[in-house]
Structure 1
Amino acid sequence: MQAFEVNFDGLVGPTHNYAGLSVGNVASLKNADQASSPKQGALQGLAKMKALSDMGLKQAVLPPLERPDVYVLRQLGFTGSDAEVIKQAAEQAPAVYAATCSASSMWTANACTVSPSADAADGKVHFTAANLSNKFHRSIESPTTSRVLSAIFADEKYFAHHQPLPLGDHFGDEGAANHTRFCNAYNSAGVEFFVFGKYAFDNNKPAPVKYPARQTYEASQAIARLHQLNPNKTVYAQQHPDVIDAGVFHNDVISVGNQDCLFYHENAFLNTEQVLNDLQTAFGDQQLHFVKVPAEAVSVEDAVNSYLFNSQLVTLSPGHMAIIAPGECQENDNVRQYLEAVVAQDNPIKEVKIYDVKQSMRNGGGPACLRQRVVLNESEIAAANQSVFITDELYATLSAWVEKHYRDSLTEKDLADPQLLVESRTALDELTKILNLGSVYPFQL
C-alpha cells in the first residue's frame, strides 16, 4: 500500500506576538518587543501550505491554541471574570501573562513525535504529544494539542495516542524538532533518529553551559519504547553542546533529514563519524546520502541567522528532493552561495524553493518549525479527519477566516486588551466547525 509524508502545518494564532519568551532562541530574543502582524503571519503560513500542496505534496493544517490561557491564570491564583483575570495578571505579573498569550503552538514540529505504522510493532501510527517542559509558555500546550491530535486521528484501529512524558527537566521532550526518519520508501520500515541535548541522569557527560538542553536522552528513549520501535532501527545522537550554546536550541536548526538523505552542518553532532556509522548500519545495504555543510562555507552563526537547516527537505519525485527555505537564506551571501552550489553536487537535492515566513522567522521558527511530518498510508489517510487536508477550497476558506478575525498589528501592550480573548475565541469556535474538530478548546468543553 502506498504511503505519503503529510505535512501538518500549524496555523499562526490570533495572538502572534514578539514577547521574547524563548531563552536560547536567538531570533526570539533579538526581536522582542517589536510589533507583530498576526494576519500577515497566518497568511504567510497558509501561502506556504498552498504552495506545497500545489507541488503535489500532501498538506494539512493544525489549529492554533486558545490564548490568552485564562485557565492557567486561574490556576495561578487570579480570580474574577475573564476580563478581571486578564487585568490582574497583566498588571501584577506581566511576564507570566505574556507567556500565557504566546502563539508558539504554530511551530508544530514541537507538537508531538510521530512514528508511522511501518516502524511500530503493533502496526499503528503512534503519537506522543511533547511536554515542552523547558519553557513555561510551551509547557501549557499539551492538553489541547492532545485533544486536537485525537480529533484528527480518532480511529483506534489505526492510531495510538500516548500521554506526554512526565513534566520536569529529566524527561524534557521537544517533539519532532529533535526527531527524523530515514527510509527507502515511505511505506517501508525506516530508521528513527533521535537527537538529544544532554543525559539527564549523568552529569559527567558533556552538556551546554550557556543555554539549556531542551531534549534529554532519557526522553528520547521513552518515546521509542512507547512507539514500540525496533531497537536495531533506532539511533540516538547527542547534539553538540557548543552549537546549543550558539543558539541552536533544537536539532532542526542544524540538520534536516528525509528518506535516504541527511543534510547537516559539520558541527551538528557530538562524535559525528560514529553517528553517521550508526545511521548507515541501521539503514542497511543501501547507501545513505550524507550532505555535509562545511563550517568554512556556512558558519554556525550563518546557519542560525538564516535558518538554513530549518528548511523543509521534501521529495518531489523519486530521487529528486527540494529544500523549502525561508527568504532569509537569500539574504545571507554565504548561505545563498552554498545553496546555489549544493544542487549541482551528486546528491538527491536538486532544487531550492524560497518562501516568505518572516513573521514566524522573527520569533525563531522557519519552514520546518511550522510543520509536523506524519507518514500515513492510504488507509490511514482515509481514516483521518478529511476536513484538515488543504484543498483550493479550504485554502480560500481559511484565508477569508484570517482576514475576518485577525488583527493587522499586535504589540505586547495590546495583549492586555480583554477583547483580544473574545476575538480569539470567536475565531477558534468558527475554525473548529471549518475543520470539523468538535469541541477541543477549554472554552468549548
Structure 2
Amino acid sequence: MTTIEANFDGLVGPTHNYSGLSFGNIASTGNTSKPSNPKAAAKQGLEKMKALTDLGFVQGVLAPHERPHIPTLRKLGFIGSDQEILTQAFKQAPKLLSAVSSASCMWTANAATVSPSADTKDGRVHFTPANLVNKFHRSIEHEVTGRILKATFNDKTHFAHHPTLPSVEHFGDEGAANHTRFASGYGEKGVEFFVYGMSAFNTQSPRPTQFPARQTLEASQAIARNHGLNERHVVFAQQHPNVIDKGVFHNDVIAVGNGNVHFYHQDAFLDTNAMQHDLQKAWNDAGNTDTFHFIEVPSAEVSVQDCIQSYLFNSQLLSLENGHMMLVVPRECQENPNVWSYLNRLKDASSPIKEINVFDLKQSMSNGGGPACLRLRVVLTNEEKAALNQHTLMNDQLFNTLNQWVEQHYRDQLVESDLADPQLLQESRQALDELTQILKLGSIYDFQR
C-alpha cells in the first residue's frame, strides 16, 4: 500500500489585512495598519500550491472563513442589521472589528493536529481542531475549521474528528505548528513529536516572561491520548522560553522535521540533549532502522533574529523520490546573507537536504506566516486519499478556476477602515458561497445556515 504526505494549504480569504493582532509575532505587529493586497496574497498561495503539485506532491486546499464574522459581534452585544452592526463596531470597538475580520485561518498549520492511521490504535487518521485560545481573533476559528475538515475528510471509516480541547489557557493548543512526525516511511510507525511552551499546572516550571507560551504540555498530552497514540512513540519537548521572548511564537518558527530529519536551531529547545535522546529512543523503539539526522543550526552562523526575519525554519521539508529532501523557503531567506550562505553550505554537506526552493509569499510573510504556516500535513494511504473530498485536491483545472474566482471577487488593496464597508461583507459572502460549490463542501458557513 502506497502512503504519501499531502499538504493542505489555507486559501487566503478576501479580508486579508494587517491589523497587528498577534502579540508575540514580530512581523504581525511590525506591519500594523499597512495596506494589504488580498488578491495578491491569494494568488501567491495558489502559485505555491500549483508549483508543488507540478513537482509531484499531493496538494489540497482548505477554504477560508467568513469574515467579518457577524455572529461573533452579535454575541458581544451588537444588534441590528449586518450593516448597522458593522457601523456600531467600527465606531465603538474598531480593534474588535479588526479581530473578527482577520484572515488568519489561512495559516492552516494552526488548524489542527493530525495523526496518521499508522500511529493510531483504531487505524484511522485523527484530527483535533486547535482552540487557539491565546488570541481572540483566532479563538473564534475552531468551530468552522472543524466543519471544513469534516467536509474535506468526510469518510468516517477512514477519518476520526475530535472536538477541540477546552478553550482555557491550561489547554492552549496551536495545532500542527507545534507538532512534527518522524518515520522511515510515511506508512511506517512513526514518532509524534509535540513541542510546548509551558506546563500550565506546574507553575514552578520555566516559562517566557515577555510573550505568551501558546502551547501547553497538558494540551499536547490530551491530544496524544485522544488520538490513541502509543506512548512509547510520543515525545514531548519544551521550547526554550528565551526564544519565545525573542518572537518565536511557535515551534515551526525555529524547527522543522520530516522523515528521518530534524532541522532546528541551536537555541530552539530548553533541553536539547534530552530532546535528542528521547527522539532517538522513540525512533528505535518504533522499529525505524534508518539513521536519524539531527541538523542543528549554530547560533554563531544564523542568529535567532535571522530566523525570525527570514523564517528559515517556517519552511516545508519535503521528501523527493530520489531519497533526498527539498526545503521550501520564503524569498526572505535568499535576502538574508547569513541564512542564504548557510543554506548553500547545507545542501552541499552530507545531510539529506539537497534542494532549496524559493517562493514569493510577501503578503503572508508581512502578516507573520511563511510556507509552513500555510499548510496542514496529512499522511494518507491510497484508500484514505481516495476517500477524501476529491474536489479539494489541486490540479490544473482547480488552479485555473480558483485564480479566476480570486480575480473576480478579491480586492487589490485593503486597509482597516475598509472592514466597516458592508459591501466587503457582501463580496466576501458571495465569494465563499461560490467557493463551497467549487470545492463541494456543502453549507459550512453561518450565513449559509
With the length of structure 2 as denominator, give the TM-score of the two structures: 0.99
1:257 corresponds to which residue? 257
- Give the distance between the partners of 1:205 and 1:175, measured in 2 at CA: 22
Whole-Å separation in 2 of the counterparts to 1:350 and 1:319? 10
1: CA distance, partners of 2:52 / 2:324: 15
SS in 1 for 2:257: strand
Unpaired stretches in structure 1, ≥5 consecutive residues = none
Q: SS state of the match for residue 228, structure 2? A: coil
Deviation at 1:315, TM superposition (A): 0.8
Query: What pairs with 1:43-122 in structure 2 (closer than 5 Å)?
Result: 43-122=43-122
SS in 1 for 2:313: helix
Whether the 8 Å contact between 1:313 and 1:323 is mirrored in structure 2 is: yes
Which of 152-161 and 208-217 deviates more?
152-161
Instruction: Please give the per-residue CA displacement for 1:171-215, whole angstroms capped at 9, x wherever unaligned.
Output: 000000000000011011100000000000011000000000000
1:323 paired residue number: 327
Q: Spell out the pairing of 1:390-429 with structure 2 (5 A cutoff).
A: 390-429=394-433
Alignment of 1:306-321 (within 5 A): 306-321=310-325
**2:168 is the alignment partner of 1:193:** no
- In structure 2, the residue matched to 1:184 is 184
Match of 1:437 in 2: 441
The separation in 2 between residues aligned to 1:318 and 1:371, in whole angstroms, is: 23
Aligned mates of 1:290, 1:22 — CA distance in 2: 31
Corresponding position of 2:131 = 131
Distance in 1 (CA, whole Å) between partners of 2:290 and 2:338 is: 32
SS in 2 for 1:181: strand
The one-letter code sitting in structure 1 at the alignment partner of 2:366 is: R
Match of 2:166 in 1: 166
Q: Counterpart in 2 of 1:305?
A: 309
Distance (Å, rounded) in 2 between the aligned partners of 1:420 and 1:444: 17
Q: Read off the aligned partner of 1:290 and give its amino acid letter.
A: F
Give the conservation status (yes or no) of the 8 Å contact 1:265–1:295. yes
Describe the superposition over 1:289-308 as per-residue Cα deviations: whole angstroms up to 9, x where unpaired. 11110001100000000000
Q: Distance in 1 between matches of 2:310 and 2:351?
A: 22
- Counterpart Cα distance in 2 of 1:401 and 1:71: 25
The answer to whether the aligner puts 1:217 opposite 2:181 as a matched pair is no
Alpha-carbon separation, structure 2, partners of 1:158 and 1:330: 41
Which residue is 1:345 aligned to? 349
* CA-to-aligned-CA distance 1:11-30 (integer Å, 9 cap, x gap): 00000000000000000000
Task: Provide the C-alpha distance between the structure 2 equivalents of 1:56 and 1:153, rounded to a whole number of angstroms.
Answer: 21
Matched, 1:35 2:35: yes
Alpha-carbon offset, residue 319 of structure 1: 2.1
For 2:138, what is the secondary structure of its paired residue? helix
Per-residue deviation, 1:318: 4.1
The separation in 1 between residues aligned to 2:153 and 2:50, in whole angstroms, is 22
> CA–CA distance in 1 between the matches of 2:110 and 2:431?
23
Moved over 3 A (4+): none
2: CA distance, partners of 1:62 / 1:14? 14
Deviations 1:287-342, CA, capped at 9 Å, x for gaps = 21111100011000000000000011001224210010000001111001011110
Secondary structure class of the residue paired with 2:358: strand
Residues 55 and 316 in structure 1, CA contact (< 8 A), matched pair in contact too: no
Amino acid at match of 2:176: A
> Bigger shift: 96-105 or 283-292?
283-292
Aligned pair partner of 1:382 in 386, 397, 421:
386
* Deviation per residue, 1:23-45 (Å, 9 max, x gap): 00000000011000000000000
2:173 alignment partner, SS class: coil
| Alignment coverage as a number of residue pairs | 445
The one-letter code sitting in structure 1 at the alignment partner of 2:65 is L
1:359-415 deviation per Cα after TM superposition (whole angstroms, max 9, x unaligned): 000000000000000000000011000000000000000000000000000001111
Letter in 2 for 1:292: E
Q: Which amino acid in structure 1 is aligned with residue 209 of structure 2?
A: V
Following superposition, the deviation at residue 4 of structure 1 comes to 0.6
Give distance in 1, aligned partners of 2:300 and 2:416.
Answer: 39
Partner Cα separation in structure 2 for residue 171 and residue 414 of structure 1: 35
1:56-110 deviations in Å (ceiling 9; x for gaps): 0000000100000000000000000000011101110111111000000000000
After alignment, is 279-288 or 152-161 more displaced? 279-288
Secondary structure at 2:249's aligned position in 1? coil
The equivalent of 2:338 in structure 1 is 334
User: For 1:119 and 1:175, how far apart are their aligned partners in 2?
Assistant: 17
Using the TM superposition, name which of 280-289 and 395-404 deviates more: 280-289
Amino acid at match of 1:66: E
Give TM-score scaled by structure 1 length: 1.00
Is the CA contact (8 Å cut-off) linking 1:280 and 1:287 kept in structure 2?
A: no
Answer whether contact 1:130 1:165 (CA < 8 A) is retained: yes
Q: Does residue 1:227 correspond to 2:252, yes or no?
A: no
The percentage of counterpart residues that share the same residue type is 61
What is the rounded CA distance, in whole Å, between the counterparts of 1:223 and 1:287 in structure 2? 28
- Kindly report which structure 2 residues correspond to 1:239-254, keeping only aligned pairs within 5 A, or say none: 239-254=239-254
Q: Secondary structure at the match of 1:308?
A: coil
Task: State the alpha-carbon separation in 1 of the partners of residues 394 and 383 from structure 2.
Answer: 18
| Superposed displacement of residue 125, structure 1 | 0.3
CA distance, structure 1, for counterparts of residue 149 and residue 9 of structure 2: 13
Corresponding residue of 2:145: 145
Question: How far apart, CA to CA, are the structure 1 residues paired with 2:99 and 2:25?
Answer: 15
Question: Which moved further from structure 2: 45-54 or 317-326?
Answer: 317-326
Q: Secondary structure at the match of 1:343?
A: helix
| 2:15 corresponds to | 15
Secondary structure of 2:290's counterpart equals coil
- Look up the SS of the partner of 1:237 in the other structure: strand
Output the CA distance in 1 between the equivalents of 2:419 and 2:4: 40
User: AA paired with 1:324?
Assistant: V
After TM superposition, the structure 1 stretch with the greater mean CA deviation from structure 2, 280-289 or 161-170, is 280-289
Q: Which runs of 5+ in 2 are unaligned?
A: none
